[in-house]
Amino acid sequence: MQQSISTPPAISLSQRIIRSRVIGRALLIAIALLAGLRLVQGLSESPILFMQQIVNGIQLGFVYALIALGYTMVYGIVRLINFAHGDVFMVGSFVSYFAVSRYRLHLWLANLLPDLSPDLALLVGSVTVILLSMAVCALLAVTIERIAYKPLRNAPRISALITAIGVSFFLEYFGALPFVFTPNFITNERPFPIVTWYINNGLHQLEPGQTVPPGSVTFSNILVIILLASLLLLVLLQFIVRRTKIGKAMRAVAYDKSTARLMGINVDGIISITFAIGAALAGAAGVLYAIAFSQVFFAMGILPGLKAFVAAVLGGIGSIPGALLGALIMGQAEVLSAGYISTPMRDAIAFTILILVLLVRPTGIFGEPEREKA
């Protein structure tokens, strides 16, 4: 401080450069320009391919969004990075696999009422599978919370974190046992046939056996279903958090746990409900992911879980719109960097983006500055 007093009032050019923070910004702008230039180049080379990448990125982004919401809600309320969340997502995928490929649950209405229109029966059946997965995941998460996290609520935060890592390992390696999920990749049957559309002078349906005409952007009913289901769940979540009493209590607990308790809120119950809602969304994401990639695997939750977590941090952890925005950015970043920069480097690029965003906004895009605890 003493030095700043003794500096002469006339600020030298070098001082002015330092004060304006221009060097650091120039670095960031240079990186952004390089990436932007590559994207513009890709766009001008083939606008159709670029649009296709964007469409694929949206599909991935919405799945990430559903997982990211669970992270962000749990973090907002108990300040715990719930590393087991990605594995809850994996369990959701396996519920879908068992329900559809093993027990043909998606056909229950069609079997019960053969006269019903098959499309409607299939729709109800698929929704049943999603709901079942959501219920199983919610139950699993509440069980985990009760057994592993609740006794540690007043312990140091790191103990809960290590416990979360332990639960994550347990779910993975228990799942890898031969009589549970087996350590292999398993092909997952889709509950409904794929219908593909392409946009080329209007919207057309791709007939079976037909090849996609060049210069068209394709998308399938999987994208439509992922989009509809995610948006529906997001609106529902927003409604619960903003308009219901439970949501109000959740926000109160997130803001100040002890005061919320004084106001007569059942804090433990609200925390359990938060875990349940987050896990239910991850369960739905698991079904959608299993449908989109038609493959399930005991360790499949690790990377999507991590990326969803990164998305939550990117958007500002604790913020629901932030999680959605962050997930969409992550989806695009992954697809575009795989398409235009370097396929093997796409995970590294996603994390580089995260670090760069954190450097500019240390608490994420929509994150509030950390409150000082008195």
Partner 1 sequence: MKLRMHRSTLGFLAGAVLVYAFVQILISTGALNDFWNTIIRLGGALAIVSLGLNLIYGFNGQFSLGQWGFYAIGAYAAADVTYRWQQLHSASGLVVLLMVVLLVGASFAAINRALSRIRGIDTLSAFALYLVGTVAAGFVAVAIGQVLIEPVTSILSALPPDLALQIVFVIAILLAGAIAAEVSYLFGLPVLALGSDYFGIATLGFTIIVKVLLDNSDTLLGFVEMKGARGMVGIPKVTTWFWVAFFLLIAIIVTRNLLHSSQGRAIVSVREDEIAAKAMGIDVARQKTLAFVLGSLFAGVAGALYAHINGFLHPNTFNFIRSFDPMIIVVFGGLGSVTGTIFGAFAFMLVLEGILRLILPEGFETWRYVIYPLFLLVMMLLRPSGLFGTYELPFLKQILPRLRGESNTTESPAAAVAGAEAEGASR
| Length, in residues, of the chain | 374
Please, which residue, 221 or 363, has the CB nearer to partner 1?
363
Region binding partner 1 by CB under 8 A among candidate stretches 40-48, 170-178, 193-201, 256-264: 170-178
Tokens of 298: 């005991």
313 binds partner 1 (CB under 8 A): yes
How far is the C-alpha of 154 from the C-alpha of 129, rounded, in Å?
38
Among positions 9, 114, 156, 214, the unique one binding partner 1 when judged by CB under 8 A = 156
Among positions 25, 37, 213, 224, the unique one binding partner 1 when judged by CB under 8 A = 25
Q: How far is the CB of 350 from partner 1 (least distance, A)?
A: 8
Tokens of 138: 């919610």
CB 325 within 8 A of CB 106: no
Q: How far is the CB of 305 from partner 1 (least distance, A)?
A: 11
CB atoms within 10 A of CB 142: 17
Task: Find tokens 């996290």 and name the residue.
Answer: 149
CB 330 within 8 A of CB 364: no
185 binds partner 1 (CB under 8 A): no
371 binds partner 1 (CB under 8 A): no
The mark string for 281-310 relative to partner 1 (x by CB under 8 A, - otherwise) is ---------------------x---x--xx
Tokens of 25: 């910004």
Tokens of 168: 């994550």
142 binds partner 1 (CB under 8 A): no
Among positions 159, 187, 244, 259, the unique one binding partner 1 when judged by CB under 8 A = 159
Q: How far is the CB of 139 from partner 1 (least distance, A)?
A: 19
Among positions 60, 140, 167, 226, the unique one binding partner 1 when judged by CB under 8 A = 167
Name which of 168, 172, 188 is nearest 180 in CA terms. Answer: 172
List Cα–Cα distances, 227 to 64, 94, 279, 288, in angstroms: 12, 21, 19, 10
6 binds partner 1 (CB under 8 A): no
Is residue 10 helix, strand or coil? coil
Name which of 166, 184, 190, 174 is nearest 91 in CA terms. Answer: 174
How far is the C-alpha of 244 from the C-alpha of 246, rounded, in Å?
5
Q: How far is the CB of 115 from partner 1 (least distance, A)?
A: 48
Binding site residues, partner 1, CB under 8 A: 3-4, 7, 14-15, 18-19, 21-28, 79, 81, 148, 151-152, 155-156, 158-160, 162-163, 165-170, 172-174, 176-177, 183, 302, 306, 309-310, 313, 317, 342, 344-345, 347-348, 351-352, 354-355, 358-359, 362-363, 370, 372
